[in-house]
Amino acid sequence: MERTLIIVKPDGVQRGLIGQVLSRFEARGFKLAGLKLMQIPRELAERHYAEHQGKPFYEGLVSFITSGPVVVGVVEGPGAIATVRAMMGATNPANAAPGTIRGDYAVTVSYNIIHGSDGPESAQREVGLFFNANELVDYSRVTDSWVIDQ
């Protein structure tokens, strides 16, 4: 089982897309292991985007992610990191396939609805930035045996 971080960004929250975005992961068969609505403080945003510090778009990333409330979640399941990334679609919505979150809901790179961890190391780091261990729930669902061959 893998866990990965997702963030429904301020544009997704303001456009009322939280439920539609989260329901895609649940419909696919993934579990939500953690979920919260929050306003990201600048210091946390700077740590989250630390790998981009010094790049021309860094300040815009930090300013945008702190501009309004977000929904932060941990999605869990087999191959969650790669599958969530595929479900999100290309970072540039113009290149995102229809049926992906960005392909269906986003128009520009700046306002592309969702963030997802891009690999195992970043997933572990990002989940740790936004959630304490006691905020993550490990549970079984009745439907798990119909979604995951165990």
| Strand ranges of the sheet holding 2-8, from the earlier edge strand across to the other edge | 31-38, 70-77, 2-8, 114-116
- Of 24, 48, 102, 115, which one is the catalytic site residue? 115
Q: Which amino acid is at 2?
A: E
- Concerning whether 52 is annotated as a catalytic residue, the answer is no
Gap between the Cα atoms of 28 and 47, Å rounded: 30
List b or e across 48-74, with b for residues whose CB sees 16 or more CB atoms inside 10 angstroms.
Answer: bbeeeeeeeeeeebbebbbeeebbbbb
Supply the residues annotated as catalytic: 115
